């Protein structure tokens, strides 16, 4: 009797198989060509009509505020749990209302501070922050990226971020050197920057000052008047995976106990 | 690349090493090694295997190899990801790919006045031969008004 092979087929595998078949000219089983005979079962099902428009779920990088390590999540998730330290937080986006904001807030999504809002107190922690309003107090921590709008008035003493992006029309002159990972310029930056990542000057951006970075990218049209020290070696080494104890072998794979050596035939005593 | 460009383009192949000034009214592609100045009214393409130890005064330049010297380009400088540049640049337009190594000063102001190429050799070309990586030196005579840098030097 022939052994039955079991195979798990998930949704993506089925879709890819249908796409592959269509690509190799085997025809779409769901949407036959106009000249083909219609099946006796009736009109084709609508399930396959979405084959051509399948979109892979987007991936997002969430940086944990507790341990600072990145975790990649896929699709719609409401609660973020850090893979490294098990820290939990909501993954919602928040747009602050007009007026003063004095409460604490911790989310894994994006916090938008609009032009007519003011941060007057509290501690705000988010993965991404879009700052278009004022900072009069409180602490702001963007675990990944801070995007500054043209009307933003940041307080650099109480502001921490990994990546900084200047929107179009922003003219930023920080009083102290900017330290972080990436700096993304659509606006004008005058000052010093020490980056472990890349400075990207877009066509509408401008950088003047001193730069030490691992990478530099300038789009044609971007301005760059600076003392540069750009070397890929300045990038930090990738984090090593933690040493986890090796998984225990399942009982089936355990080696069988050594067989007893065939003992020599006992000599009969007394013979 | 069009045929017309090929007709006027000189090529220094990877087996060639030149010590001295290279001057051309057309374009030039460098895959070998040049120790000296390069003056071109056309475009210069420095391939991956190419290296130049000296200054470049050109119309435009695309760098994929190594340059130890200053670049002055009337129109455009393009640094590919494999480029390695120890020296200063001055141009109207600049395009840089991620992955470059660049130690030196940059003066690129697309909205400013057009770049005027000095007739004499740019200062500091030979200085770069002794330049150590990680210690960018000021461009000196070529430096125009730069409020950002002046301010930072005052702060530091």
Asked if A229's CB is within 8 angstroms of B100's CB, the reply is no
pLDDT at residue A87 tops 50: yes
Contact check, Cβ <8 Å, B106/A198 = no
Mean pLDDT for chain B?
78
Contacts with B116 (C-beta within 8 Å, 6 or more apart), sequence order:
none
Question: Cβ–Cβ contacts within 10 Å for residue A241, how many?
Answer: 6
Q: What is the pLDDT of residues A8-27, one digit of tens each?
A: 666 777 788 888 887 776 65
Residue at token pair 């052994």? A3
Confidence of residue A224 (pLDDT cuts 50, 70, 90): very high
Query: Which residues in A32-158 belong to E strands, given as ranges?
Result: 59-63, 70-74, 79-81, 88-90, 94-95, 99-101, 105-106, 110-113, 117-119, 123-131, 134-135, 139-148
CA dihedral sign, ordered A143, A148, A154, A156: positive
Question: Residue B123 above 60 pLDDT?
Answer: no
What is the tens place of the pLDDT at every residue in A181-218? 999 999 999 999 999 999 999 999 999 999 999 999 99
Residue A253 backbone dihedrals phi, psi, to 5 degrees = -85, 0
| Identity of the residue in B99, B104, B111 whose CB atom sits nearest the CB atom of A232 | B99
> Could you give the ipTM of this predicted complex?
0.74
What is the pLDDT, as a whole number, of residue B125?
43
Q: Is the pLDDT score of B57 beyond 50?
A: yes
Provide the pLDDT for residue A59.
Answer: 83
% of chain A residues with pLDDT over 70 = 73
Which residues of A are less than 8 Å from B108 in CB distance?
A: 218, 222-225
How much of chain A is in helix, strand and coil states, percent to nearest 5? 10, 35, 50
Please determine, for residue A225, whether its predicted confidence score (pLDDT) is greater than 60: yes
Nearest Cα of chain A lies from the Cα of B134 at a distance, in angstroms, of 6
Q: For residue B107, what is the enclosing H or E element?
A: strand B101-108
A7-21, A178-192, B41-55, B116-130: segment of lowest average pLDDT: B116-130
- Confidence at residue B60, expressed as pLDDT on a 0 to 100 scale: 95
Return the structure tokens found at B71. 């670049």
> Using 50, 70 and 90 to split pLDDT, how confident is the model at B18?
very high
Residues of B whose CB is below 8 A from A225: 106-109, 146, 148-149
Q: In this structure, are residues A173 and A190 in contact, taking their beta carbons and an 8 Å threshold?
A: yes
Beta bridge partner(s), residue B61: B44, B77
Which residue's entry shows tokens 């595998």?
A: A13
> Burial code of A157-169, b = ≥16 C-beta within 10 A, e = fewer?
ebbbbbbbbbbee
Residue environment code for B76-112, b if the CB has 16+ CB neighbours within 10 A, otherwise e = bbbbbebbbbbbbbbbbbbbbbbbbbbbbbbbbbeee
pLDDT computed for residue A146 by the predictor: 93
Residue A157 distance to chain B (closest CA, Å)? 17
């Amino acid at each position: 009797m022939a052994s039955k092979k079991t195979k798990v087929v998930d949704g993506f595998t089925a879709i890819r198989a249908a796409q592959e078949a269509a690509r190799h000219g085997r025809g779409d089983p769901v949407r036959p060509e106009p000249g083909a005979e219609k099946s006796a079962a009736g009109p084709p099902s609508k399930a396959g009509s979405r084959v051509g428009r399948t979109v892979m779920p987007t991936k997002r990088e969430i940086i944990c505020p507790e341990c600072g390590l990145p975790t990649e999540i896929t699709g719609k998730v409401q609660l973020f749990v850090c893979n490294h330290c098990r820290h939990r937080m909501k993954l919602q986006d928040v747009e602050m209302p007009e007026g003063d904001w004095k409460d604490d807030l911790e989310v894994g999504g994006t916090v938008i501070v609009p032009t007519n809002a003011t941060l007057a107190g509290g501690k705000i922690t988010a993965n991404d922050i879009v700052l278009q309003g004022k900072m009069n107090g409180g602490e702001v921590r963007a675990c990944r990226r801070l995007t500054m709008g043209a009307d933003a008035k940041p307080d650099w003493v109480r502001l921490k971020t990994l990546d900084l992006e200047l929107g179009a029309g922003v003219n930023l002159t920080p009083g102290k050197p900017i330290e972080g990972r990436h700096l993304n310029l659509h606006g004008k930056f005058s000052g010093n920057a020490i980056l472990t990542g890349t400075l990207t000057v877009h066509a509408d951006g401008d950088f003047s000052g001193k730069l030490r970075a691992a990478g530099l990218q300038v789009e044609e049209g971007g301005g760059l008047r600076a003392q540069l020290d750009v070397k890929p070696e300045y990038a930090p080494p990738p984090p090593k995976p933690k040493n986890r104890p090796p998984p225990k072998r399942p009982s089936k794979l355990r080696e069988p106990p050594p067989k007893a050596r065939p003992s020599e035939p006992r000599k009969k005593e007394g013979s | 690349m069009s045929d017309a460009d090929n007709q006027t383009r000189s090529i220094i192949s990877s087996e060639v090493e030149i010590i001295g000034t290279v001057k051309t009214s057309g374009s030039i592609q460098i895959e070998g090694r040049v120790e000296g100045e390069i003056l071109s009214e056309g475009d210069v393409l420095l391939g991956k295997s190419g290296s130049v130890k000296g200054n470049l005064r050109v119309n435009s330049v695309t760098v994929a190899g190594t340059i130890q010297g200053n670049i002055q380009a009337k129109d455009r400088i393009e640094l590919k990801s494999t480029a390695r540049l120890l020296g200063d640049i001055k141009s109207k337009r600049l395009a840089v790919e991620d992955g470059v190594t660049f130690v030196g000063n940059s003066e690129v102001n697309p909205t400013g006045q057009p770049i005027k190429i000095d007739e004499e050799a740019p200062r500091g070309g030979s200085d770069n031969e002794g330049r150590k990586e990680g210690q960018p030196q000021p461009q000196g005579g070529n430096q125009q008004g730069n409020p950002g840098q002046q301010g930072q030097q005052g702060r530091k």
